[in-house]
Amino acid sequence: MKRLVVILSVFLILFTSCQDDEILSFDETGTVVDYAGAGDCGFIIELDNGNKVLPLYYPENFTFTQGQRVLITYTELTNVMVGCSQGVPCEVTYVEELSCSPYIDLYFENYDSLARDPVHIHEAYVDGNCLYFKLSYSGGCQEHTIDLARMHPWTASSSTVPTFEIRHNANGDLCEAWFTKEFRYDLTNLKATGTKQFVLTAKLINDEVYNKIFELE
């Protein structure tokens, strides 16, 4: 009888351990937010259910960018310790981009509503229905925001080629850490009008101006 009790006890321990080690997988949608500069954080996915996850591992062919809407399948890495306190560490086994970030429409009366602090642009190109660009700026002591603004002409006689401007708000940050980030903005509405070209501008470091024409297919 004692032997039977021992065998049953061992079975229960093993069964409980297997249950404790069961890996749970979740399917959720959310928005990618770049927390670079906040401790040891990077991209955090703010899920629509209110939770936040830190993707430590994810498919090699995918690039996270600020403002993306994504669908992910993930598992939490509960035994992993990280320096970022903004999200739960996880492994993303599947990720799909649902949409890029929307741009902001600016008109003559609110042209100055978004700051125009300088940036350094590494590259920019059209990728499907999205405009991708990679840029850098100095900071580290304040929260920075990057927006893409469509600058609508203030007279009907102005150029018909749409103009977009990268607007950077450094919030007076005087720190000198260097941050590099990637962004994707949705051009679906622009392409739907049949537009074939647009101009991208930005204020660069050393008072230079970035100005480039892009073609739309």
User: 3-state class of 75 per DSSP?
Assistant: strand
Range(s) of the domain holding residue 143:
104-215
Which one of 44-48, 159-163, 191-195 scores highest in mean pLDDT?
Answer: 44-48
Confidence (pLDDT) at 44: 94
Residue 30 lies in a domain: yes
pTM: 0.74
pLDDT of 171-187, one tens digit each? Answer: 999 999 999 988 999 99
Looking at the fold, whether 109 and 138 belong to one and the same domain comes out as yes
Considering the domain boundaries, does residue 73 fall inside one?
yes
Calpha distance 166→144 (Å, rounded): 13
Same domain, 93 and 119: no
In this structure, are 127 and 163 located in the same domain? yes
The pLDDT score that the predictor gives to residue 159 is: 65
CATH number at residue 78: 2.40.50.500
**Is residue 54 one of the residues assigned to a domain?**
yes
Given a contact cutoff of 8 angstroms between Cβ atoms, the answer to whether 112 and 151 are in contact is: no
Compare 168 and 86 and report the one with higher pLDDT: 168
* Position 113 in a domain: yes
Number of domains in the chain: 2
Provide the percentage of residues in the chain whose pLDDT is more than 90: 65
43 inside domain: yes
Token pair of 47 as six digits:
């899920």
The pLDDT assigned to 15 comes to: 45
Residue 88 belongs to some domain of the structure: yes
- Do residue 120 and residue 90 come from a single domain? no
Q: Are residues 62 and 108 in the same domain?
A: no
Q: What percent of the chain has pLDDT over 70?
A: 86
Q: Are strands 43-47 and 52-57 parallel, antiparallel or unpaired?
A: antiparallel
Rounded-to-integer distance, Cα 92 and Cα 179, Å: 24
Residue 45, pLDDT > 60, answer yes
The pLDDT, as a whole number, for residue 22 is 64
Q: What SS3 state is found at 34?
A: strand
- Kindly state whether residues 42 and 141 are assigned to the same domain: no
Cα separation, 142 vs 176, in Å, equals 11
Predicted confidence (pLDDT) at residue 155 exceeds the cutoff of 80: no
